[in-house]
Amino acid sequence: MQSFRTEIENPLVQKDIIELANKIELFNNGKIDEEKFRSLRLARGVYGQRQEGVQMIRIKLPYGKVLSNQLRRIAEVSDEYSRSRLHITTRQDIQIHYVDLKRTPELWAELERDNVTLREACGNAVRNVTASETAGIDIKEPFDVSPYADAVFKFFLRNPICQEMGRKFKVSFSGTDEDTGLSYMHDLGFIAKIENGVKGFKVMLGGGLGSQPRHADEFYSFLASDKIIPLMEGVLRVFDRYGERKSRAKARLKFLIKDIGLEAFKGLVEEEQNAIEFKSVAINEATYQTSTPVSVEAPTVDIKDTEAFNLWKATNIIPQKQDGYFAIGIKVLLGDFYTDKARLLADLVEKYAAGEIRLSLRQNILIPFVKADLIPFFYQELKKLGFAEAGYNKAVDITACPGTDTCNLGIASSTGIAEELERVIKAEYPQYLSNNDLVIKISGCMNACGQHNMANIGFQGMSIRTKDKLVAPALQVLLGGGNLGNGNAYFADKVVKIPSRRGPEALRRILNDFEANANGKLFVDYYKEKGEKYFYQLLTDLSDVENLTQEDFIDWGTEEAYVKAIGVGECAGVVIDLIATLFLECDEKIEEAEEALNNKVYSGAIYETYRSMVNAAKAILLSENVKTNTQAGIISQFDELFVSTNKVELGNTFSDLIYQIKVFPPTKEFAINYLQSAKTFLQVVKQYRESQLVAKN
């Protein structure tokens, strides 16, 4: 552990890594519960993999910005601790697979040497803050959203209010009304606006994908930029307190809003404002660290295949708002590339651009700040790396999650079918190399990590059963999704389920019909015109399972017979219900509250105190076999079953005690008094628990 202490300057990071190392040791020695340990490691970016004995590491890269030195560091880590492969996700992260759990603390320590974190990349926390990959360079943007995404990332990282929520929480920023940050499918989505000279955002709330996609509501048509962090804090506090915790499937913010309604939710957020320390958080764009493009003479280049070069320029080059500069899009097949290419790319952009890349929501790479006269040189160098394929963000550029390659939840292959569909398009529909309209996405299961249910054409991994009870890999075909801009969108309809091997034929039929009959319409408009039944009739014969061949029982990308194997999902962690563990957590929260108080972080001390009391009340409820759900429910149940019946004497209601957190501003005096009240409460309930155990014995 000593090496972590000496090499990491940030004491918070040092504490995180040492804690992870200590908990791994306790877990391996059988001294910590598996579910409790899972919750902790997920919050540190360590995710269980489909293959036994290894972990997936998710690296949190806010709004997809990666500096050259950071990319080299990530490559070194992948070489040392994994298999030299990097995977770009649909949330602008990088994942490294096949990592030994015992080595994750040192891996994290290595990344932090270049300010790269794993913290809260997984688990029940605020996940990576995503944004338009063209933020700061987009010709249409009213202003650069990067400083705002960066400020939100930093403010809520390690923030006590969002460490142990019922589920994950996702935030996005869109630089223009084209809504390339996909605000409508996020818990909170911000779209840049300027009103009366004031910078701000249209705010979308409560969106999500998964098995039950929900279009976000418009929360504010305009909110000044200095109010977005206080608003988000209020939303998180309400979600933490009232959000579902028992049923993982219903624990996202979208279900809470659906249950209580938008206006009621807004009212709860407004009630929290008095307890929020910062009523206004001004975000100073001038202090945001931007990359500076280099000034270098363009090397002489001889382009031999001018036709291929011109096609690449037509599909992969994006003009910037900065005069004379362009961004270059790199199409990364399935988001996978290797460390040797990563290093060369890092060197290239450092020497000839601005020393940074952006990871996109479509699992690609964007190089900003390339001078016009350097474009031929970049083409030549990228071609050497295999990074000069035409079709960046075009129809041929299919998005897919890892699926059954590595994910516990994968039902059918997403990467294998994605490669085959790309091959079909390139070979049979070359006109789609430059088609911006058609968006194709694939997920290996209903959880929609590949965002299949917001695509024009989507495929979801499933299984299908014959009358003889044989099981084959299958695909749910979804059609008609689309981003309409400014927070508006359609989610795709589930049209038909077919054996996976018939996926290419389904795509051919859809494209052939579109080519023959759309008459220039966008796909999303053509689908709305024709309707679900039309496409069902077009594809329904492909769903027949009475004529399956031997090949239909072998999934794409494999040579073995298909076996449906679904593990335990970890996308949101697991709720811990063990009484002893809860009391242990209570003590830990009290210690963390005291530490925050000593550091004069009064809001943090108050929230850790609150969490200690909630956990203590939950422990007592569980001790008498009372099922718990939301934090608000725990508080009311404790009053009803223990305080009003005089089983526990508090001198007041538990609600009055704990809900002071909503009433008083986060001052030093309140933090001290609240913490003392929590200590007294914890002592009372522990005594009650001891009396229970004595009575049982």
pLDDT for residue 7: 67
Residues 229, 248: Cα–Cα separation, whole Å:
27
pLDDT for residue 3: 56
Question: How deeply is 548 buried, as exposed, middle or buried, from its count of CB atoms within 10 A (0-12, 13-18, 19+)?
Answer: middle
Residues 269, 579: Cα–Cα separation, whole Å:
31
* Whether the predicted pLDDT of 573 surpasses 50: no
DSSP 485-501: ETTEEEPPEEEEEEEGG
**363 φ, ψ (degrees, to nearest 5):** 70, 30
Q: Quick: pLDDT tens for 633-651.
A: 999 999 999 999 999 999 9
Residues in the chain: 697
**478 φ, ψ (degrees, to nearest 5):** -120, 140
**515 φ, ψ (degrees, to nearest 5):** -60, -40
* Whether the predicted pLDDT of 442 surpasses 70: yes
Q: Which amino acid is at 356?
A: E
The enclosing domain of 333 has a CATH number of 3.30.70.3340
Residues 411, 563: Cα–Cα separation, whole Å:
9
* Whether the predicted pLDDT of 443 surpasses 60: yes
Domain span including residue 23: 2-112
* Whether the predicted pLDDT of 432 surpasses 70: yes
Structure letter (DSSP) for residue 262: H
Q: Which residues pair with residue 330 across a beta bridge?
A: 365
pLDDT band at 662 (very low <50, low <70, confident <90, very high): very high
pLDDT for residue 565: 57
Report if residue 296 sits inside a domain: no
Let me know whether 272 and 310 are in one domain. no
Q: Quick: pLDDT tens for 122-139.
A: 989 999 999 999 999 999
Looking at the chain, the whole-number percentage of residues with pLDDT higher than 90 is 76
Let me know whether 364 and 462 are in one domain. no
Report if residue 570 sits inside a domain: no
- Mean pLDDT computed over 439-453: 89
Report if residue 172 sits inside a domain: yes
pLDDT for residue 487: 98
* Whether the predicted pLDDT of 93 surpasses 50: yes
The domain boundary residue, chosen from 384, 411, 446: 384
The enclosing domain of 476 has a CATH number of 3.30.413.10
* Whether the predicted pLDDT of 545 surpasses 70: yes
pLDDT band at 32 (very low <50, low <70, confident <90, very high): confident
- Of residues 372 and 4, more confidence is placed in 372
Let me know whether 276 and 161 are in one domain. yes
Specify the 3-state DSSP secondary structure of 534.
Answer: helix
Residues 221, 612: Cα–Cα separation, whole Å:
37
489-510 core/surface letters (b: 16 or more CB in 10 A; e: else): bbbbbebbbbbbbbbbebbebb
Q: Quick: pLDDT tens for 242-272.
A: 999 888 889 999 999 999 999 999 999 999 9
Token couple for 23: 């908990």
Residues 688, 424: Cα–Cα separation, whole Å:
68
Q: Is the Cα torsion angle 104, 106, 111, 112 positive or negative in sign?
A: positive
Specify the 3-state DSSP secondary structure of 55.
Answer: strand
pLDDT for residue 656: 97
Residues 189, 129: Cα–Cα separation, whole Å:
10
Residues 273, 461: Cα–Cα separation, whole Å:
43
Specify the 3-state DSSP secondary structure of 83.
Answer: coil
The enclosing domain of 662 has a CATH number of 1.20.120.330
The domain boundary residue, chosen from 355, 384, 413: 384
pLDDT for residue 693: 86
| Contact indicator for 94, 87 with CB cutoff of 8 Å | yes
* Whether the predicted pLDDT of 405 surpasses 70: no
pTM listed for this prediction: 0.91
Let me know whether 103 and 223 are in one domain. no
Residues 574, 569: Cα–Cα separation, whole Å:
9
Let me know whether 252 and 225 are in one domain. yes
Alpha helices in 443-560 (DSSP H): 503-517, 523-530, 532-539
Q: Quick: pLDDT tens for 459-502.
A: 999 999 888 888 899 999 999 999 999 999 999 999 999 999 99
Report if residue 391 sits inside a domain: no
Contacts for 262-271: CB closer than 8 Å, 24+ residues apart: 262/205, 262/206, 262/217, 262/219, 265/205, 265/206, 265/238, 266/219, 268/238, 268/242, 269/231, 269/234, 269/235, 269/238, 270/234, 271/662
Number of domains in the chain: 5
Token couple for 218: 């418009």
Report if residue 378 sits inside a domain: yes
Report if residue 389 sits inside a domain: no
pLDDT for residue 4: 57
Residues 338, 336: Cα–Cα separation, whole Å:
7
* Whether the predicted pLDDT of 112 surpasses 90: yes
* Whether the predicted pLDDT of 49 surpasses 90: no
Question: How deeply is 277 buried, as exposed, middle or buried, from its count of CB atoms within 10 A (0-12, 13-18, 19+)?
Answer: middle
Q: Is the Cα torsion angle 332, 338, 342, 344 positive or negative in sign?
A: negative
pLDDT for residue 378: 98
- Of residues 572 and 193, more confidence is placed in 193
Looking at the chain, the whole-number percentage of residues with pLDDT higher than 70 is 96
Report if residue 491 sits inside a domain: yes
pLDDT for residue 577: 40
Q: Which residues pair with residue 479 across a beta bridge?
A: 457, 493
Q: Is the Cα torsion angle 152, 450, 496, 465 positive or negative in sign?
A: negative
pLDDT band at 100 (very low <50, low <70, confident <90, very high): very high
Mean pLDDT of the chain: 92
Let me know whether 407 and 379 are in one domain. no
The domain boundary residue, chosen from 257, 287, 317: 287
Report if residue 525 sits inside a domain: yes
- Mean pLDDT computed over 17-41: 82
The enclosing domain of 18 has a CATH number of 3.90.480.20
Residues 535, 526: Cα–Cα separation, whole Å:
11
Let me know whether 189 and 234 are in one domain. yes
| Contact indicator for 627, 246 with CB cutoff of 8 Å | yes
Let me know whether 280 and 320 are in one domain. no
Let me know whether 211 and 327 are in one domain. no
Let me know whether 176 and 215 are in one domain. yes
* Whether the predicted pLDDT of 119 surpasses 80: yes
Residues 425, 428: Cα–Cα separation, whole Å:
5
Let me know whether 406 and 542 are in one domain. yes
| Contact indicator for 479, 498 with CB cutoff of 8 Å | no
Let me know whether 536 and 423 are in one domain. yes
